[in-house]
Amino acid sequence: MKHLKRKIIAGIVIFLIAVCATGAAIFAAVDEYKVEHSITIDLGGGGCTDIYYESQEDRGPNAGKWFKDLRVGKYLADKYGKYHTIAGYNASVPKDGTTVSNYYDCVGVTPYVRIEGVSRAGYIFTGWEVSGAGKSYYDFGTAGVRVDIGAYTNKNITIKAKWKRCDYDVKANIFFLSDNEEWIKEESYNSHARLNIDINGQRKQSSVYQYSEKIIGDSTYSISVNTYPGWKTDWEYSSSLSGTVLDNVTVNIYICPIVYEVHLYGNKPQASSGNLENRSIAGWQWDELGFYKRKFIYDRIGELPEVSDVYGISGWTGICWKKNDNSLVRPFNNTRNILSYIDGDIVDLNAVWKENSYSLGMDVNGGYEDDTIIVTGYEKNNRLPYELTRPGYNFDSWNSEKDGKGARYEKGDTVSKLVDVDGGMYYIYAQWSKKKRICLKVSSGTYKKELINDSVYNNAQGWFDEYGRGGTDGERTVPDEKCIQIWTVNDDGITQNR
């Protein structure tokens, strides 16, 4: 019994020794799983967002959990007493073709290399090619790959991204904003802009209004636009292309007219004597700084008002507007405006005035002189005639009415501003009063010429006919009170009565 007991104890000891030896051997063997790999990552000309070590713990409280490091330093040190982490393995994003060599103790974890987010301009990703890896690798497409680099792998591991070259369709169009506020595609060279096409730094096309071409992927491409004066690119709607073409692309560029503001100033001439009148006009806003203003859209149908619709000066006519560079701008109606080519510009327009002229007619109204008409400026002073001649009458004054019931102007007066309308006409009429006269009262039907002197006869000759008989036009009926002298003519001659 004692012998059997010893045998049992010896067996247990042997078993324990065996188990321990086996465990020691296992751990020794595990400890000797110090693997060294040469890992080559070839992204095939593309790039990625990240490369790092990744691990999944095999045992312990975190078994099955993924970590963004190798975890060995926190689980079991290698036989050199070193704890390995991602920093210890110099993990980084290598350039194309870079070889990363590392070694580590792989006890307790399954180590991986993780690549994320691959892309290559002008190419389509077709998959991953992995050689020398362990049990498996996980292909996530363009999202990346996870490669087992554990103890059961070859010494050399190669991870390679595979690509397929592609071509893309590139199209470019121009749309312009019509008068009806609609976007219309340009379809002729009578357009509002031109496209410039550059491929790989070389000018492909220029001065085209639309473009379409199939190009090789990863080409460096640029589409720019040159707008004609008065037009601009509306980037709120427009797309653009500059850089590497990665897919089929259609670039639509939208062109709209520029907007500017017009200011209208009265610009009163120094020579004018009247006040500048501001007249309200629909569609224009008065600014306290002294001008009317409104927005204009380039090339739209519109109107620029006459000066007289905006301002007025008595005796003057506004003929046009003038820019600050002294170029003249005529008023227009139902016409496309092109007052500026600069977006946001302020266009100052100053009124240009002309002094009105009118005709002044001077009617001598029975006098010996000829009637006269002169053309004069509104502001010009004109001196009226002082002396006129009419037998038997005194020249008294001028009047705007022939009968003397209008505006009176004295002889020799200086007059101006009689008509404020350009091209107008103003008449004035000479006013006369009859002179007091020496009257010959004819007391008989005839008289003897030889009995009176020549001067009296000359004054009275119109009163008698050629035979000396008293005519009907004689002054016989003139009242005595209108005469300063009264003479009587009879057969015996002429005698003074008063």
Q: In this predicted model, what pLDDT tens digit does every residue of 1-22 receive, in sequence order? A: 444 444 433 343 333 333 333 3
Exposure string of 439-477, with b = 16+ CB inside 10 Å and e = fewer, is bbbbeeeebeeeebeeebbebbeebbeeeeebeeebbee
Whether residue 161 has pLDDT greater than 60: yes
pTM, two decimals, is 0.57
Is the model more confident about 238 or about 37?
238
Cα(391)–Cα(366) distance, integer angstroms = 10
| 23 confidence band (pLDDT: 50, 70, 90) | very low
Please, how many CA atoms are within 13 Å of residue 162, restricted to the half-sphere of its CB?
Answer: 8
Under 8 Å CB-to-CB from 404, ≥6 apart: which residues? 429, 431
The bridge status of strand 424-434 relative to strand 414-415 is unpaired
What is 81-110 written as a DSSP string? -----TGGGT---PPTT-EEEEEEE-TTEE
Whether residue 98 has pLDDT greater than 70: no
149 close to 113: Cβ distance less than 8 angstroms:
yes
Cα(298)–Cα(259) distance, integer angstroms = 6
Is the model more confident about 34 or about 289?
289
Both tokens assigned to 101:
């060599």
Q: What is the pLDDT of residue 460?
A: 56
Mean pLDDT score across all residues of the chain: 77
Q: What is the pLDDT of residue 459?
A: 58
Q: What is the pLDDT of residue 202?
A: 77
Cα(42)–Cα(47) distance, integer angstroms = 10
Report helix, strand and coil shares of the chain as percent, to nearest 5.
10, 45, 40
> What percentage of the chain has pLDDT greater than the value 70?
68
Q: Which of 285-289, 379-383, 493-497 has the lowest mean pLDDT?
A: 493-497
Stretch 487-497: mean pLDDT: 65
Highest mean pLDDT among 251-260, 330-339, 489-498: 251-260
Q: What is the pLDDT of residue 97?
A: 43
Q: What is the pLDDT of residue 481?
A: 59
- CA-nearest of 471, 465, 483, 466 to 442 is 471
Residue 450 has phi, psi (to 5 degrees) of -70, -10
For 179-258, where are the alpha helices, taking DSSP H only? none
Whether residue 85 has pLDDT greater than 50: no
The helix (run of H) or strand (run of E) holding residue 335 is strand 332-336
